[in-house]
A and B are shown apart, each in its own frame.
Chain A
Amino acid sequence: MIRFQTKFHKEPNLVRGIFSLRSLVFPGVVFVVLLILPPIIPRFYTYTLAVILETALLAMSLNMLVGHGGLFQFHHGVFYGVGAYTVALILTKTPLPTWVALIAGPLMAALTGLVIGWFCVRLSKLYFGMLQISLGSLVWAVVFRWYRLTNGDDGIHGIPMPPFITSQSSVYYFILIVFAICLIVMYLIFKSPFGATLQAIRDNPERCEAIGVNVRRHQLIAIIIATFFAGIAGDLFVVLEGSVFPDLLFWVLSLEIFIMCLLGGWFTFAGPILGATIMVSLRTFVGIYTEYWTLILGIILILLIFFLPEGVWGYVLEKFHSQPKEAIEKGSV
């Protein structure tokens, strides 16, 4: 027990409370900058920022499992897609108000997470990931083929939104505020005893089992929480784009968000935000100049693997924060 404490908690931080003043400065500045940016920058950049925030939320929710939980959550996009489709279907097929849809989205995603996770936590590592891919692909195939309900590969377009989230700046602020709230909640979970237990399970499941931690139950709860956040990201996608399509549930997207976590630094809390920013900016800005943007992305990824194996944010933390590499233990995950 003692060993976990010294290894994975930053004791001083705990003593000073979860939010020390110093650690609040940087996120606070970024938040304020994001608040005042939209009137200054062109509309297209505002939209891109909104996409980055929404994608970052998705990547963060995945990183709760991959980085902090050590679970091979290979098909996270399914929960994102289920959330988005739930919102879209409620708004287009029923007369229910928007807020019901926006709440139902994450709940449905979490429910899907519960069902799929319930099967998956029985398996370990790669098998976990594979079972999830097959169950997730099942959901994808149903959405893809069930024309009467989901319009199949055409997707659902022109989803009606209430007036307060129709103009571009209001959409942006809505996404920014939801993102900020989710980030705070995620950070609280990350620093909570539950989060610490999860990280302990990542580093040594056998020992956790031995000291009486119910490993599977913790993992399942983590999956439910993470898929709930993925559902919120799905909400934001619908708010932003006003449409859904089956590609949201396809494994390529899941892999992309997985890569964002690795890219940004999967042992850090904020890494996935950076990963999402890099991926979305690459796709948006390199995509303008060349249709071969994935080639560029591939080359950048290879350069990162060779030179920044702990992810961009992991590298920055190590270089400038002079934090000990405690959590970055090779071969433990």
Chain B
Amino acid sequence: MEIGQTFTFAALGIQFLVGLSRAMILFIVSAGMSFVLGVLRVPNIAHGSLYMIGAFSAFTISNLLGGGPGGFWMALILAPFVVAVVALIAERSLFCHLYEREHLMLLLFTFALMLILGDLVKIFWGADYRSIMAPDMLRGSVSIFGSPFPRYNLFILIIGPLVAVGIWFFSNKTKVGKIARAAAVDREMVGAIGINVSWVFAFAFVLGCFLAGLGGALVSPTTSISLGMDHDIIMEAFLIVTIGGLGNMWGALVGSLIFGLSQAFGILFWPQFAIVFPYIAVAIILIWRPRGMLKSVW
């Protein structure tokens, strides 16, 4: 049980940035989940599977296009759309018939979807580990505080806030976004003024899954793409969404920061039990603020 390395300022700083870049990935994924949770009121257990599909289809797209930098960029752009199409099919063919049902039945449905998608991934891509190379300009590392820091993580640090701004712009400035937010607060009222709530739900579900796919595509060059990715991310996303306040986009951001940073500093202080720290942080927050950090839309 050796306790960490030396706590130099540089080590802390680098670890802070590592945590921050992890938080950005978590934010993109959990923002999608938060969106679905806010509008549909369903914790989408299949969200992690869609994230996994995002990573796998990024791999396939980049391979089809020759694996060069062009392939990577196209994968980053196209993979989320592949996931969105999968989500749209699942939503329109099955999920949309269940909205009137018991709440736990919807939960059960998303679980069934997770089982099916997980096995479909196994059928399409097999159980092997895959990996994607980032393009040259994002490979290697830059020196920050005198220590090396991966360039790709820096790239994620830039993309994360861009996505946050995009979501903010979408949900506050566009008509569709406003309708979705309204449906989150009072769906009967939205239906009463003549808006097709079923399509609003479909749209929210697809958008949430799109974000899951984007997260999966973004994370693909940093880890090995494998079955089981879904299990790792889904619980984290759940907890993030809860501590942030259900359905609150900024809550997802706050939650991701807490989760990512506690994980990163945990690795620094006590590597053996690093995975314990985020759970402790979540438990403390939920005991201290039982309804999450920010206001829930429920």
* A interface residues with partner B (beta carbon < 8 Å): 119, 122-123, 126-127, 130-131, 133-135, 137-138, 141-142, 144-145, 251-252, 255, 259, 262-263, 266, 291-292, 294-295, 297-299, 301-302, 305-306, 309, 330-331, 333
Contact = CB atoms under 8 A, between A and B. Distances in A.
Interface stretch (B4-12, B74-82, B96-104, B169-177): B96-104
Interface residues of B, number: 42
Given A134-B286, A301-B112, A295 B276 contact: no
A298 B119 contact: yes
A251 B279 CA distance: 13
A57 B283 CA distance: 29
Contact of B115 (A137, A298, A309): A298
B282 interface: yes
- Identify the 4 closest CB pairs spanning chains A and B, nearest first: A298-B115, A295-B119, A298-B116, A301-B112
A330 B101 CA distance: 9
A298 B113 contact: yes
A294 B104 contact: no
A295 B283 contact: no
Contacts of B115: 294-295, 297-298, 301
Nearest to A310: B102
A294 B119 contact: yes
Nearest to B109: A305
B290 A302 contact: no
B231 interface: yes
B43 A126 contact: yes
Given A126-B43, A145-B273, 16 more contacts: A127-B291, A130-B239, A131-B290, A137-B279, A141-B273, A145-B275, A255-B45, A291-B122, A292-B123, A295-B116, A295-B120, A297-B112, A299-B112, A305-B108, A305-B112, A331-B103
B286 A130 contact: yes
Contact of B119 (A119, A259, A292): A292
B246 A126 contact: yes
Contacts of A137: 235, 279
